[in-house]
């Protein structure tokens, strides 16, 4: 009964109140690896979403959500997330899977925005924890590789997301990125296996001197002879439905 109440509230809020929230509000899921108290260093795969939208094909370098779409909303000091089994459309239709409502400032197990087999600092991230926050602009952290997706209707393309490459604070935000649809980011050193079950390679996210790259190792063999480093930096580039950008924030 409680779950049904949450779902109904999420859908009603999305339908009737979408236009009432300014675009400069973001729902953030700040990663803390396996730390269930979210009190250590930022570590893992994080997200910032412009709420009141349906998110599908959520991506990060080499990773893509291929199972579900997600409706993310903000109501007062809570973030609502509803999951649907149709991943390839922007209307969040299909069979309902799950819904949760998170209080601002709570430490939770990260919703399955992207499912992946990953590790960082030798710790497996099958159950990553995230700090849920609400902010007026998306959050950026040092030494992270950022994938940003922007509304194609935004006349300013990619806003000013990559301006944060020059920030050296522990976290920063952009006050002119109103066209940002969502962003995913990973701390340098995050290692994962691609979603494709036929791909047995491993991918390690790296940031060096502000450059975004990945280290791809055949058969997950980390010896130098089996690995190839590729630059994945991408300036603001128009796609079929949106603009995309990949960059690294500087280290502290």
pLDDT per residue as tens digits for the range 22-55: 557 999 999 999 999 999 999 999 999 999 999 9
197 CB-contact burial (10 Å; exposed 0-12 / middle 13-18 / buried 19+): exposed
Which of 142, 82, 75 is CA-nearest to residue 111?
Answer: 82
Query: What pTM, to 2 d.p., does this model score?
Result: 0.83
7 CB-contact burial (10 Å; exposed 0-12 / middle 13-18 / buried 19+): middle
pLDDT, average across residues 191-212: 78
Q: Which residue has the higher pLDDT, 185 or 173?
A: 185
């Amino acid at each position: 009964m409680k779950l049904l109440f949450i779902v109904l509230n999420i859908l009603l809020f999305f339908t009737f109140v979408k236009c009432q929230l300014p675009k400069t509000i973001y729902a953030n899921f700040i990663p803390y690896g396996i730390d269930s108290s979210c009190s250590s260093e930022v570590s893992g795969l994080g997200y910032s979403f412009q709420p009141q939208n349906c998110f599908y094909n959520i991506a990060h370098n080499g990773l893509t959500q291929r199972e579900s779409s997600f409706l993310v909303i903000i109501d007062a000091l809570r973030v609502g997330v509803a999951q649907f089994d149709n991943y390839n459309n922007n209307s969040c239709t299909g069979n309902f899977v799950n819904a949760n409502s998170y209080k601002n400032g709570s430490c939770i197990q990260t919703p399955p925005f992207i499912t992946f087999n990953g590790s960082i600092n030798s710790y497996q991230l099958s159950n990553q924890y995230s700090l849920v926050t609400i902010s007026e602009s998306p959050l950026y952290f040092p030494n992270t590789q950022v994938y940003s997706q922007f509304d194609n209707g935004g006349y300013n393309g990619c806003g000013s997301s990559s301006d944060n490459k020059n920030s050296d604070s522990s976290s920063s935000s952009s006050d002119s990125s109103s066209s940002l649809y969502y962003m995913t980011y990973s701390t340098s050193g995050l290692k994962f296996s691609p979603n494709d079950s036929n791909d047995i390679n491993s991918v390690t996210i790296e940031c060096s001197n502000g450059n975004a790259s990945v280290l791809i190792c055949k058969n997950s063999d980390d010896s130098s002879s089996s690995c190839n480093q590729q630059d994945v930096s991408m300036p603001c580039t128009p796609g079929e439905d949106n603009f995309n950008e990949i960059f690294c924030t500087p280290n502290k």
